[in-house]
């Protein structure tokens, strides 16, 4: 698969009189995981929804590998906090949804591979409501990955999970992303999450959101629970928290 860059160029968006995004410029490099941090209500979800094609920007444009994109598409998979599995489909059918829409012949192999990668093979026939919160979010990400999207958009995908489950999900997602050539834009207000998963961070101001600062994350490939106690990690987390609080 071709690695693709994802760019937001001068995106502005208001809901009525409320300006939410103020000329946001953002470039996620091919294959990179980029985390956007910002205070609650600053417009993170709105930005991601514009990039996914669910909302149209008042100004500006979104480019994938240099092409302007507007409509929702399987090449930009998005997972939100609330989870996006279809409650009436079994886990297996949820994972098969995308590949079936595109009429692929190898749907079964794709689904089997994803069930294995999520550790959910034995739950293939369960309904979403029969899964735990962590399983559901993993499955929602797998549902999107079934289309092998060049771009993955994640909107606080683990925000509703307890701290331990969230940490397990971080470790899991890192391993999954490492194995794929996906350009990932992750939105979060959890500094740990950003530092554990991302190659770069972007800090957003309070509403209307502007990109205030970009920070490279210096930690290497193998990050996990042990990283949390790394002195360099602790120091960086404190610095970033400081800036998020002022921003």
Partner 1 sequence: MPVLTDLAALANAERADLPPARVLSRGRRRWRRALGVVVPLLLLGGWALASGLVWISPGLLPAPWTVAEAGRDFFFGERRTTLAGVVAFDGAGWGHVGASIFRCLVSFSLAVVVGISVGLALGLSRWVADFFDPVLNALRAVPLYAWLPISLVWFGIGEGAARALIFIGALWPVLIATADSVARVPRAHIETARMLGTPRQRLWRRVYVPSALPEIVTGLRLSLTLAWMCVIVGELTGTSTGVGAMMNAARETGRIEEIVVGMFVFAVVGYGADLVLRMLTRRWVRWADT
Ligand X SMILES: Nc1ncnc2c1ncn2[C@@H]1O[C@H](COP(=O)(O)OP(=O)(O)O)[C@@H](O)[C@H]1O
222 binds, among partner 1, Mg ion, ligand X, none (CB under 5 to 8 A by kind): partner 1
Q: Nearer to Mg ion by C-beta: 74 or 159?
A: 159
Min CB(215)–partner 1 separation in Å? 25
Query: Binding partner of residue 30 among Mg ion, ligand X, partner 1, none, CB under 5 to 8 Å per kind?
Result: none
Residue among 9, 39, 45, 54 that touches partner 1 (CB under 8 A): 54
User: In this complex, which beta carbon is closest to Mg ion, that of residue 45 or of residue 73?
Assistant: 45
Which tokens in the block code for residue 102?
């595109």
Q: Which stretch binds partner 1 (CB under 8 A): 2-10, 33-41, 131-139, 203-211?
A: 131-139
Residue 168 contact partner, candidates Mg ion, ligand X, partner 1, none, CB within 5 to 8 A by sort of partner: partner 1
Distances (CA, A) of 74 to 15, 34, 64, 99, 153: 27, 20, 13, 10, 11
Q: Please state the closest distance from residue 24 (CB atom) to Mg ion, in A.
A: 15
Residue 34 pairs with which residues in a beta bridge?
Answer: 185, 200
Q: Does the protein bind partner 1 through residue 150 (CB under 8 A)?
A: no
41 contacts which partner out of ligand X, Mg ion, partner 1, none, CB within 5 to 8 A by kind? ligand X
Decide if residue 12 touches Mg ion (CB under 5 A).
no
Interface with partner 1, residue 220, by CB under 8 A: no
Q: Is 45 in the site for Mg ion (CB under 5 A)?
A: yes
Is position 119 an interface residue for partner 1 (rule: CB under 8 A)? yes
For position 163 contacting partner 1 by CB under 8 A, the verdict is no
Kindly list the residues in this chain that would bind ligand X in the complex (CB under 6 A): 15, 18, 20, 38, 40-46, 207
Q: Which of the residues 13 through 32 are near partner 1 (CB under 8 A)?
A: none
Q: Which CB atom, from 30 or from 53, has the smaller least distance to partner 1?
A: 53
User: Do residues 203 and 38 lie in contact, with contact meaning Cβ atoms separated by under 8 Å?
Assistant: yes
DSSP string, the chain: -----EEEEEEEEEETTEEEEEEEEEEEPTT-EEEEE--TTSSHHHHHHHHHTSS--SEEEEEETTEEE-S--TTEEEEETT----TTS-HHHHHHHHHHHTT-TTHHHHHHHHHHHTT-GGGTTS-GGGS-HHHHHHHHHHHHHTT--SEEEEESTTTTS-HHHHHHHHHHHHHHHHTS--EEEEEES-HHHHHHH-SEEEEEPSSSB-EEEEEE----S--SGGGGG-HHHHHHHHHHHHHHHH-
Q: Are 185 and 153 within 8 A, CB to CB?
A: yes
* Residue that has been written with the tokens 């409509």 in this structure: 71
Q: Which residues bind partner 1 (CB under 8 A)?
A: 52-54, 71-74, 76-78, 80, 82, 84, 86-89, 97-98, 101-102, 113, 117-119, 127, 129-135, 143-144, 147, 164-165, 168, 171-172, 174-176, 178-180, 222
């Amino acid at each position: 698969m071709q690695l693709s860059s994802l760019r937001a160029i001068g995106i502005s968006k208001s809901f009525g009189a409320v300006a939410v995004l103020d000329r946001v410029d953002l470039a996620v490099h091919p294959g990179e995981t980029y985390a956007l941090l910002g205070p609650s209500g600053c417009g993170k979800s709105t930005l991601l929804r514009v990039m996914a094609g669910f909302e149209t920007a008042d100004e500006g444009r979104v480019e994938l590998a240099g092409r302007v994109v507007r409509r929702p598409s399987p090449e930009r998979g998005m997972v939100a906090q609330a989870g996006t599995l279809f409650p009436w489909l079994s886990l297996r059918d949820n994972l098969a949804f995308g590949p079936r829409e595109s009429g692929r012949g190898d749907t079964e192999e794709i689904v089997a591979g994803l069930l294995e990668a999520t550790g959910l093979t034995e739950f293939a026939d369960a309904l979403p409501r029969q899964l735990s919160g962590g399983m559901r979010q993993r499955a929602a990400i797998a549902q999107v990955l079934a289309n092998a999207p060049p771009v993955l958009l994640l909107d606080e995908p683990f925000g509703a999970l307890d701290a331990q489950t969230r940490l397990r999900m971080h470790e899991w997602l890192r391993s999954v992303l490492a194995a794929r050539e996906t350009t990932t834009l992750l939105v979060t207000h959890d500094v740990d999450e950003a530092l554990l998963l991302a190659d770069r961070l972007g800090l957003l101001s309070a509403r209307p959101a502007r990109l205030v600062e970009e920070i490279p994350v210096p930690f290497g490939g193998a990050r996990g629970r042990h990283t949390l106690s790394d002195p360099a990690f602790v120091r960086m987390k404190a610095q970033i928290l400081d800036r998020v609080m002022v921003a």
